Amino acid sequence: VDARRDERRRRVTHVVVDGERHALATYRAKMCRQTENCVEEFDHYCPWVGNAVGRRNYRYFVAFITFVSFLALVVGASACARLVDLKLHHRRKEEEALISASWGEVLLMVLVAYTVIVLCSVCGLLCFHTRLIALNQTTNENIRGTYFTDKNPHDHGAWTNYRNFLFRPVPRSRVVSYVGGRDGLDEAVRRVSDDEDDEAAGVVEMV
């Protein structure tokens, strides 16, 4: 079974959209190995959210890492402020606090170190995606160097790219809206596959 799945992944080069066959590049799509779905404008697979990131959820992913960065910043700043407060008032009696000042300082320093690690990783990721949005590139295209030498046809300038990212409507799912249902979809896949001379070209539906 695993061998057949691997073979199917290697063969996928086209996608069925509303009963018609299109090359994956038309939709900037890719077959995700982890979810076994063909994802439109595939960006990457995120193990932290357990899902592939693409056209329909990329905006939510960027919002997620933005809020995580903000939360880490607030927690880190609060921990630093409390640590300074303990340093300035170290003469207070220990019985007046829930825990001793020394242990409180240790726990706060651990919390500050943790938030620094989160900020360095997640904020770095946020800056990376901010740049990708300005260029209208996906992580997959950036890593593969798709537009390192050629002009990116999807880049319409940073301002327009940011505006499209924020306000472009989320498209419908092309799987659940297929009128023929799963049987009809399989039939469409077989039909468009039979019409092609290249038997090695795989065809799948797109989420």
Active site residue 46: yes
Reference 134, options 159, 104, 103; nearest CA is 159
| 3-state SS string for the chain | CHHHHHHHHHHEEEEEECCEEEEHHHHCCEEECCCCEEECCCCEEECCCCEEECCCCHHHHHHHHHHHHHHHHHHHHHHHHHHHHHHHCCCCCHHHCCCCHHHHHHHHHHHHHHHHHHHHHHHHHHHHHHHHHHHCCCHHHHHHCCCCCCCCCCCCCHHHHHHHHHHCCCCCCCCCCCCCHHHHHHHHHHHHHHCCCCCCCEEEEEC
Cα 198 from Cα 189, distance rounded (Å): 14
Q: How many residues does the chain have?
A: 207
Q: Which of 46, 80, 123, 127 is catalytic?
A: 46
Beta strand 20-23 with 12-17 is antiparallel
- Which residues are the active-site residues? 46
